Amino acid sequence: MNVIIVGCGRVGAELAKILDKDGHTVTMIDKDADAFGRLSDDLGVTRVVGDGTDMETLVRAGIKSADAFAAVTNGDNRNIMAAQIAQRMFEVPNVVCRIYDPLRQKTYKALGLRSISPTIVGAKLLRNDLYYPDGQATSPDRAIAAGDAVPLANPPHSGGPQK
């Protein structure tokens, strides 16, 4: 799978690491070249300095041949714009973005934009820990959140490693 990630913060860098390890082709876009310091040199991640909402930057990053696109900058508006451009202008088949604001997430979901809200996910995981302080409730989500488990390296729908 050929994946473009916009935003080389903690989440973007970790996602790039996971996808690269799974054997996918990954291109990372970030406005700040110093952000790429989060990526180790042994990763096969292509780095592109630029704005993930800029058409020329996206073309330079290879969006015309992308199978998937993830917008994970620290700004909801930038993530929404980048995801919409990838989905509507370049017709990338698999697009997802991170949206912190749950109200915005509902709005954009109604418009067909796939998103994940760490605010909602985190609040629900914390709630569950408050209900079950002794770890009485176990679930795959809880194990992943606690760092006790790692998701499958190649989920069945990913088609396995492809470079």
Domains of the chain by residue range: 2-116, 118-151
Please state the pTM of the whole predicted model: 0.85
Q: Are 32 and 6 in contact (CB under 8 A)?
A: no
- Which CATH number, 1.10.3720.10, 3.40.50.720, 3.40.50.300, 3.80.10.10, labels domain 2-116? 3.40.50.720
Alpha-carbon distance of 13 to 45, in angstroms, equals 10
C-alpha distance from residue 32 to each of 37, 48, 85 (Å): 10, 10, 21
Per residue in 102-141, pLDDT (tens digit) is: 888 888 888 889 999 999 888 888 888 788 777 655 666 6
Instruction: Produce one character per residue of 57-67: b if its CB has 16 or more CB atoms within 10 Å, e if not.
Output: bbeebebeebe
At residue 29, what is the residue type?
A: I
Per residue in 89-101, pLDDT (tens digit) is: 999 999 999 999 9
Phi first, then psi, for residue 87 (nearest 5°) are: -75, -45
- A 10 A CB-CB count for 90 gives 17
